[in-house]
Amino acid sequence: MLAKPDQANQPKLLVDGLAKSYGPAVALKPTHLAVEPGEFLTLLGPSGSGKTTLLQMVSGLVAPTQGRLFIDGRDETQTPVHKRDIGLVFQHYALFPHLTVAENIGFPLKMRGLSSADIQKQVAGALEMVQLGHLAGRFPRELSGGQQQRVALARCFVYKPAIILMDEPLGALDKKLREHMQFEIKDLHRKTGATIIYVTHDQEEALALSDRICLMNHARVEQIGPPHEIYARPRTAFAADFIGISNIFRGRVECGADGATHLATASGRLRIDGDNLANDAEMALVVRPEHIELGSAGENEVRGNVAEIVYAGSETRLLVEVAADERVTVRVLPGKPLPKLGENITLSWKPEAAVLVTP
């Protein structure tokens, strides 16, 4: 059973084995998750990985097949949506087309029975916060996409829900506006100290915004941690591949008699560190492009021909064919000498820069 969390550092949200199936199709396997007060947690994963399902179960719009959910320590699994103190920002905003901007923002306050004077004051404050005071009387269809997004945010922040959920809120915006809105959301989070669960399939967005990222795949949580940790210490090949650019060498573990362990890959035998690795186990070694150096400099080396040179502004990327159909990406900073196309070169990295993951 669940040990009663102690009052002082009680999580804002505790997801205890929530799961959802639609008939035989599993949308989310039993999932455990704790979100701290004031935290910005991002659910990141490819389409269909169960992010929306998890979010909707937290909001109460979808009933779980099993599991429980606690907000501030209270079991809210059975609480109907409208009594659950949460806010949800929809992907396409879901602004009420028959209400003005001010009336949209005032809606949750009206539902909570506030006096119209209070509503007016708080709506004005919320409009101020998203810099839309001059558009209070407009209807949603008279606003641009970015403005509609801000109204949706204001409508959610105005009643200070215990948890704010956002399901790909920037998905409908173009890239420039999206980056701008990311700042605004981050800023709102700082100003209000709200607890936010944010859904996206865009890894850059997740890295930029989150205190922690909850990486999801195949209807389950793959890994949870702060962005830098997930980037630097992925636990699975999927995590390494989904976030940032990774070079992944797959192979079998060979435990040598001398205690040294190697991974036999298509690109050669690579030295790995690791305790109690089973001989012959399938593993993968992840090395980020920025950690690979040109030339021989350590124990781990691979050789290959330069197959492609890609100029990317702040850096140049080399694609080096180290085995049949296996290419390694290498970053070369500006000013460093570049090899020629087709040249056979040696690549190396420091052992501590490589991460051993399950394939």
Partner 1 sequence: MTTTAVSHAVSPAPRRFRFGPLWLAAPGLAFLAVFFLVPVARLMGLSLEDADTGALTMAHYARIFDTDVYFRVLLITFRIAALTTLFSLLFGYPLAYWLARLPEHRRGTMILLVMVPFWTSYLVKSFAWVIVLGRTGVINQIGMGTGLLSEPLELLHNEFGVMVGMVHAMTPLAVLTMLPVMTGIDRRLTQASGTLGATPAKGFWLVYFPLSLPGAAAAGLLTFISSLGFFIVPALLGGRQQTMLAQLIIVQVQEILNWAFAGALAALMLTTALVTCWLYDRVFGLSSLSGEPSDGKSGRKGVLRGLGLAVLDALAGVSSAVSTGANRVLGQAVSTRMLAFYCALMFAFLMLPTLVVLPIGFTSSQFLEFPPPGYGLDWFRTYFTSDLWVAATIRSFGVAFATAIVATAIGGFAALALARSNSRWRGLIFALFLAPMIVPRIVIAVGLFYLFAQMGLVATDVGLVIGHTVLALPFAFVAIAAVLKSYDWRLDQAAATLGANRVQALRFVTVPLIKSGLTAAFLFAFITSFDELTVAIFVSGGVKTTLPKQMWDDMILQLNPTLAAVSVVVFIVVTTLLLAAERLRRSSQA
Ligand X SMILES: Nc1ncnc2c1ncn2[C@@H]1O[C@H](COP(=O)(O)OP(=O)(O)O)[C@@H](O)[C@H]1O
Q: Which does 53 bind (CB under 5 to 8 A by kind): ligand X, partner 1, Mg ion, none?
A: ligand X
Angle of helix 101-111 versus helix 116-129 axis, rounded to 10: 130
Closest CA to 213 of 197, 190, 233: 197
Asked whether the beta carbons of 286 and 354 are under 8 A apart, the reply is yes
Asked whether the beta carbons of 127 and 101 are under 8 A apart, the reply is yes
Least distance in Å: CB of 136 to ligand X? 33
CB closer to partner 1, 19 vs 206? 19
Residues of this chain that interact with Mg ion (CB under 5 A) are: 52
- Candidates 40-48, 127-135, 207-215, 224-232; binding stretch for ligand X (CB under 6 A): 40-48
Site for partner 1 in 190-219 (CB under 8 A): 212
CB closer to ligand X, 1 vs 25? 25
d(CA 331, CA 56): 40
Please give the backbone phi and psi of residue 109, each rounded to the nearest 5 degrees, phi first. Answer: -70, -40
Q: Which two tokens stand for residue 61?
A: 């719009």
Least distance in Å: CB of 353 to partner 1? 24
- Candidates 4-12, 50-58, 186-194, 253-261; binding stretch for ligand X (CB under 6 A): 50-58
- Candidates 47-55, 63-71, 82-90, 179-187; binding stretch for ligand X (CB under 6 A): 47-55
Q: Count CA atoms closer than 13 A to 138's CA, side-chain side.
A: 14
Q: Which does 33 bind (CB under 5 to 8 A by kind): ligand X, Mg ion, partner 1, none?
A: partner 1
d(CA 59, CA 80): 9
Closest CA to 155 of 85, 86, 87, 97: 87
CB closer to ligand X, 22 vs 96? 22
Q: Which does 90 bind (CB under 5 to 8 A by kind): partner 1, ligand X, Mg ion, none?
A: partner 1
What is 91-120 written as a DSSP string? TT----TTS-HHHHHHHHHHHTT--HHHHH
Q: Which does 63 bind (CB under 5 to 8 A by kind): ligand X, Mg ion, partner 1, none?
A: partner 1
| Count of residues that interact with ligand X, criterion CB under 6 A | 11
Selected from 11, 50, 87, 234, the binder of ligand X by CB under 6 A is 50
Site string for partner 1, 163-182 (x = CB under 8 A): --------------------
Please give the backbone phi and psi of residue 305, each rounded to the nearest 5 degrees, phi first. Answer: -100, 140
Site for partner 1 in 52-111 (CB under 8 A): 59-61, 63-68, 77-78, 80-83, 86-88, 90, 92, 94-98, 107-108, 110-111
Selected from 17, 37, 38, 48, the binder of ligand X by CB under 6 A is 48
Closest CA to 167 of 45, 2, 81, 323: 45
**Which residue minimizes CB distance to Mg ion?**
52
* 141 DSSP assignment: G
Least distance in Å: CB of 318 to ligand X? 34
Q: Which residues face 308 on adjacent strands?
A: 319
Closest CA to 27 of 164, 242, 216: 216
**What is the edge-to-edge ordering of all strands in the sheet holding 344-349?**
293-294, 344-349, 300-311, 316-323, 326-332
Selected from 157, 159, 198, 249, the binder of partner 1 by CB under 8 A is 159
Binding site for partner 1 (CB under 8 A): 1-2, 9, 11, 14, 16-17, 19, 30, 32-34, 36, 39, 59-61, 63-68, 77-78, 80-83, 86-88, 90, 92, 94-98, 107-108, 110-112, 155, 159, 212, 221, 224-225
